[in-house]
Structure 1
Amino acid sequence: MATSSRAVVEEVLRAGRELDIEAFVDSMAPDGYIEWPFRPAGVPGRLQGRAEIRDHLARTAGSLVTFDEYRDVVIHETVDPEVVIVEYEAHGTVVATGAPFVQTVIAVFRVQDGQIVSYRDYLNPLPLAEALAGATAVP
């Protein structure tokens, strides 16, 4: 039985929140990509392919912020069965300072054959930029 696009997206969201890098990467198609159209300096605009995504996550996951929960999650299944749009607030902690962190996200996924071929993450860049600035500020 084929896995629904919604179920694939729900799994990648869980894996991202829990820092389960292997499950996250396994949800991606071999040549799938992640894009961040709006991002602060230092955050890549695009990662393509499982190896590049795995390498980036292994180096960065949990190093700047950690996420405890996603709140107000709304999953929109579209008329195109491959496309799923998700809105949510990511609540967590800035690792360097222990300060609370809230990130508003809208993400657009395209799923083919049970794997994500594209993941466009339209996050609000301001909280991340503030966390980056706070983490590098000299007391």
Structure 2
Amino acid sequence: MHTSNLFQSSAATVMVKHIELIGTDLNAWLQLLAHDAVVEFPYGASLGRSTRYENRADIEAHMRSFTGIVGSFKFSDIDITESADGLRAWASFRGEAWVESRRTMYRQDYAAYLVLQDGKIKLYREYWNPCHIAAAFGAKLHLEEPD
């Protein structure tokens, strides 16, 4: 992959690259990120995880902890919308991966948002259903009582 081409990319193009690489080539995916990138998973707290990762080292550690326990992801039903200025993109997509340790298939519907700066991902925010993760990976949900 030639990262120099990313500086001429639109947010939709980078979103496509993100989806192509996230489940198959984490090292190449990391090259899509700005050095000061922020990655957010707003529902992460419901799984006892952080909701925000603010540097590449923390982002990489988190992503490796997740992608290291599943086989390659396959994504489908991808729908991407880009802002008029080409700096923001929204996507919805489906993903699935085999979880060998649990001998089960992980399936998820995702909603994602990204912001580009100088052709790299400055902010990536991803929404998913924590119940699907808990079921596939045997994770405990951390639920709070409503106020």
Q: Report the TM-score, using the length of structure 2 for normalisation.
A: 0.80
- Structure 1 or 2: larger strand share? 1
Identity of aligned residues (%): 26
Which runs of 4 or more aligned residues in structure 1 lie more than 4 Å from their structure 2 counterparts after TM superposition?
none
Q: Determine which of 48, 70, 78 is the counterpart of 2:54.
A: 48
Q: Which consecutive unaligned segments of at least 5 residues does structure 1 have? A: none
Q: Which consecutive unaligned segments of at least 5 residues does structure 2 have? A: 141-147
Following TM superposition, by how much is the alpha carbon of 1:80 offset from its aligned partner in structure 2, in angstroms?
4.2
Following TM superposition, by how much is the alpha carbon of 1:105 offset from its aligned partner in structure 2, in angstroms?
0.3
Distance in 1 between residues matched to 2:138 and 2:102, nearest whole Å: 11
| Structure 1 residues 14-37: Cα deviation after superposition (integer angstroms, max 9, x where no partner) | 11121x122111101101111111
Change (3 A) 1:67 1:43: farther
Alignment of 1:1-139 (within 5 A): 2-18=8-24, 20-39=25-44, 40-63=46-69, 65-133=70-138
Following TM superposition, by how much is the alpha carbon of 1:106 offset from its aligned partner in structure 2, in angstroms?
0.2
Q: Report the TM-score, using the length of structure 1 for normalisation.
A: 0.84
Counterpart AA for 2:57? A
Q: Is the 8 A contact 1:103 1:124 kept in 2?
A: yes
Two-structure CA RMSD over aligned residues (Å): 2.0
Matched residue count: 133
